[in-house]
Amino acid sequence: MALLEVHDLRLSFGGLKVLHDISFSVEKGAINSLIGPNGAGKTSLFNCLTGFYKPKAGSIRLGGRPITGLPPHRITALGLARTFQNIRLFKEMTVLENAMSGQHCRSRHGIVSAILHLPSQRREEEAIRAVGMRWLDFVGIAEHAHRHAGGLSYGDQRRLELARALASTPALILLDEPAAGLNEREKLDLVHLIRRIRDETGVTVLLIEHDMGLVMQVSEKIVVFDYGQKIADGAPEVVRADPRVIEAYLGTED
Amino acid sequence: MSDEARILPVPVQPRLMRWSFVLPGLAALACALVLPQLANAYVTEVATTALLYVVLCLGLNIVVGYAGLLDLGYAAFFAVGAYTSGILTAEFGFNFWLTIPVAMVAACAAGVIIGAPTLRLRSDYLAIVTLGFGEIVRIIARNLDITGGASGLIGIERPEIFGFKLMQVQHFYYAFLVLALITAFVCLSVERSRMGRAWFYVRYDEDAAAGIGINRVSAKLQAYMMGAVIASVAGCLYAAKMTAISPESFTFNQSLLILLGVVLGGMGRIPGVVLGAILVALLPEVLRGAGTYRPLVTAVALLAIMLFRPNGLWPDKRV
């Protein structure tokens, strides 16, 4: 059984069909990519998977459990985390506080135990802090823990988004254009980091990316979208040779 | 590069209060403690009002400053507390202290009734709904028999503690001081906890907060209820101090003044909110000499503050 199974997913806004009967799956422990020209519906698909959009039809299963139509926070709690295409950090808060946000759904102490300063509440706070630090260290920005997130360099902000998502201890992480705006060196670091996420933590990765070099380098399977439809699905070399993919990217000859 | 070999930096647990605040804080507390001994009844009365506003502004700060919800009807929860305590002591002979938990439960219930359906809305709609709620509570109080109608409720019992009856202005000054200190401690504790952070996440980016696993409606509702509970406790003590309350103590103007205190000082941060609350209570007294020009002078002062200190007089350095 695949970790993520999407079956006949359909999404429309009013009369506009955004996704037509999309089906694909992501195996546990894989690094897969979604590619396609701008406006092909990739981010819309991410928004369906994470509960921000309600699909019109079809089903999404995570580890065999249906998650179709659940609210975003429930989906995150079930083990699916995401990053955003345009970085969405809590810029006014510290880097560590950002990373700690991922642990919210894994902890339980509320207002009353915070007022009473219960020992179990203090211990939980320390654990949340430690997990946040662990992931900051994993992505390599631990020394900035007490700075404001908004003051980080662009590349470090991208890393922080990753750390925050990883801090929710997901089974699957969705990365929406993680290489956007990065220079060549930072892209290489990102490839390395994406591999480490899978190899060292066992988290499955699904990414949307425009940088073909990066996609071909890192993915084991690629799903190609065009006009809200899936036009190809397979290993990088297979997809690269697919005439429909070439047509979608380069146009037809006539 | 192997991770195993490296030592993780030790996460720093933030102290409840930074040292730079402890000394000035203690000095302020010492001043607050001796004030009624040195000042006359008028000054003590004004200072008591200032402490009432400190409690109310700290409560509203949870809703507005932490969770980022614009609440224009906060006085309604103040009224719920005052009327619950007033009715129970004056009509049913309850002990004052027993009315506090009842008022807290009543405020929670009111918070859920108004919050559960509306906190799904984005802030502009919420402001309108809370504005309406504030008026509804005041009009209900005006029209029910049990609340004494437009003339209000009289003969509210004075509270007793260990056989000592709170009677004079000084007694209530100290009672409000204790309440303000407890409220500040509670706010500080929650601000640096899991739920406090969740409120800030929701305030700064609601979608990102939902995407990272925070139930935004539940987080907002909890902020709203906690604010309501604090206002209701302040209401209980207010009713006991006044011994008579009327619907006109809980108008839209009252809600606006509390909101003004939060925004004026710098929302989201306790010292700023305390400063704002004190200013709101003192301003009318200080400007008494201006006579009929008072609203004009107040307006000019507020405009100047908004122009030169748009984040408040003592702003949150995060913003």
- Residues B163-192 pLDDT 10s: 788 888 899 999 999 999 999 999 999 999
Q: What is residue B317's predicted lDDT score, i.e. its pLDDT?
A: 63
Q: What is the ipTM of this complex?
A: 0.94
What's the mean pLDDT in A52-79? 95
Say if residue B7's pLDDT is above 60: no
Report the DSSP beta bridge partners of residue A62.
A4, A65
Summarised one tens digit per residue, pLDDT across range A107-164 is 999 999 999 999 999 999 999 999 999 999 999 999 999 999 999 999 999 999 999 9
Q: What is residue A220's predicted lDDT score, i.e. its pLDDT?
A: 94
What's the mean pLDDT in B229-233? 97
Query: Per-residue confidence at B9, pLDDT binned at 50, 70, 90?
Result: low
Lowest pLDDT segment from A23-27, B137-141, B291-295: B291-295
Distance from CA of A111 to the nearest CA of B (A): 6
Contact yes or no for A109 and B8 at CB 8 A: no
Summarised one tens digit per residue, pLDDT across range B245-289 is 999 989 998 999 999 999 888 888 898 999 999 999 998 888 887
Say if residue B160's pLDDT is above 50: yes
Distance from CA of B249 to the nearest CA of A (A): 30
d(CA B22, CA B181): 14
Q: What is residue A63's predicted lDDT score, i.e. its pLDDT?
A: 93
Query: Which two three-digit tokens encode residue B252?
Result: 């839209």
Say if residue B17's pLDDT is above 80: no
What's the mean pLDDT in A2-6? 95
Query: Per-residue confidence at B314, pLDDT binned at 50, 70, 90?
Result: confident
Please provide the average confidence, as pLDDT, over all residues in chain A.
93
Q: What is residue B93's predicted lDDT score, i.e. its pLDDT?
A: 87
Other Cβ atoms closer than 10 A to A163? 25
What's the mean pLDDT in B47-67? 96
Contact yes or no for A137 and B3 at CB 8 A: yes
Distance from CA of B283 to the nearest CA of A (A): 32
Contacts of A187 (CB under 8 A, 6+ apart): A179, A211, A213, A214
Nearest CB to B201 within list A90, A110, A148:
A90
Q: What is residue B4's predicted lDDT score, i.e. its pLDDT?
A: 43
Summarised one tens digit per residue, pLDDT across range A162-208 is 999 999 999 999 999 999 999 999 999 999 999 999 999 999 999 99
Say if residue B3's pLDDT is above 50: no
What's the mean pLDDT in B293-300? 82
Contacts of B294 (CB under 8 A, 6+ apart): B284, B287, B288
Helix spans in chain A (H) = 42-49, 72-77, 95-101, 111-116, 119-139, 154-166, 184-201, 212-218, 236-241, 243-250
Q: Which residues of A touch B318 (CB under 8 A)?
A: 92-93, 148
Of A115, A124, A189, A200, which to mutate for an interface test with B (greatest number of B Cβ within 10 Å)?
A: A115
Other Cβ atoms closer than 10 A to A253? 5
First to last CA, chain B: 37
What's the mean pLDDT in A35-62? 93
Nearest CB to A104 within list B9, B198, B318:
B198
More confident residue, B36 or A200: A200
Of B8, B17, B212, which to mutate for an interface test with A (greatest number of A Cβ within 10 Å)?
A: B212
Q: What is residue A157's predicted lDDT score, i.e. its pLDDT?
A: 95
Query: Per-residue confidence at B2, pLDDT binned at 50, 70, 90?
Result: very low
Q: How many residue contacts between A and B have a Cβ separation below 8 Å?
A: 126
First to last CA, chain A: 43
Say if residue B5's pLDDT is above 80: no
Q: Determine whether B99 is exposed, middle or buried from the number of CB atoms within 10 Å of its CB (0-12, 13-18, 19+).
A: buried
Q: Which residues of B touch A128 (CB under 8 A)?
A: 194
Q: What is residue A183's predicted lDDT score, i.e. its pLDDT?
A: 92
d(CA B312, CA B276): 8
d(CA B165, CA B216): 45
Please provide the average confidence, as pLDDT, over all residues in chain B.
88
Location of structure tokens 């695949």: A2
Query: Which two three-digit tokens encode residue A48?
Result: 């369906």
